[in-house]
Chain A
């Protein structure tokens, strides 16, 4: 089945530094990838939709200059949290759908990245 790989799984960084998270579709080409954030005991919150070869679409309230998304190839999207602060500490998850399996196919998720900003 479709596999999405996310790296790193955990990262601890100091306040003010930037962190890059990679999301790869391993056995399919994903023109669109989705980045979610999840705080403890809360649901998934869609942050942005990453579009291959064009600008990402950000959800209301998500700062595009803080959460930089690059989708340079059909199998790789990156999320960079710039100038991270403790309130950015969260679980970040990417997902994608295999376009060849149709609109009704489920999202496949990466294993998530636990970001802790000290």
Chain B
């Protein structure tokens, strides 16, 4: 079967750096997405990786290793507003999105 694994919950301190990992086993691979979802709201797009390596976008970076079936989202200079759930999603060979359960990130002052 297809599977996306993320930690359920993480806690970090304001101003610090946090890395949220995602491992996947899917039938084929056509890209990996990271979304941010605040409580009670819809997900918003953060990043997309289809080739190995690091994609940097401001305070957020996303890394992909296709051979390892692994990605991480790196958040720097954490702010209180970064408290949210972070969803990893992989597009399989049929271009279907497979979603992880999300990682709830708690930022403490």
Query: Do the two chains belong together in a single complex?
Result: yes
- Residue numbers of A with Cβ under 8 A of B are 6, 41-46, 91, 93, 95, 103-104, 106-112, 114
A-B contact count (CB 8 A): 42
A109 near B44 with CB under 8 A, answer yes
Asked whether any CB of chain A lies closer than 8 Å to the CB of B84, the reply is no
B45 near A108 with CB under 8 A, answer yes
Closest approach, in angstroms, between the C-beta of B38 and any C-beta of chain A? 11
Complex Cα distance, B99 from A43, in Å, reads 7
A43 near B45 with CB under 8 A, answer no
Can you report 9 residue pairs joining A to B where beta carbons are below 8 Å apart?
A43-B101, A44-B43, A46-B96, A103-B95, A104-B30, A106-B45, A107-B97, A111-B42, A114-B40
Closest approach, in angstroms, between the C-beta of B104 and any C-beta of chain A? 8
Among B42, B45, B97, the residue within 8 A (CB) of A110 is B42
Complex Cα distance, B43 from A109, in Å, reads 7
A93 near B42 with CB under 8 A, answer yes
Starting from the known contacts A43-B99, A93-B42, 6 additional A-B residue pairs (CB-CB under 8 Å) come to A44-B87, A46-B96, A93-B43, A104-B48, A107-B33, A109-B42
* Mask: chain B, 42-69; 1 = CB below 8 Å from A; 0 = not: 1111001010000000000000000000
**Which secondary structure dominates chain B's binding surface?**
loop
Which residues on B sit within 8 Å (CB–CB) of A91? 40
Which residues on B sit within 8 Å (CB–CB) of A44? 43, 87, 99
The 3 A-B residue pairs with the shortest CB-CB distance in the complex, in nearest-first order:
A109-B42, A106-B45, A43-B101
Among B50, B97, B104, the residue within 8 A (CB) of A104 is B50
Which residues on B sit within 8 Å (CB–CB) of A95? 42
Complex Cα distance, B102 from A45, in Å, reads 12
Complex Cα distance, B87 from A95, in Å, reads 15
Residue of A nearest to B102 (CB): A43
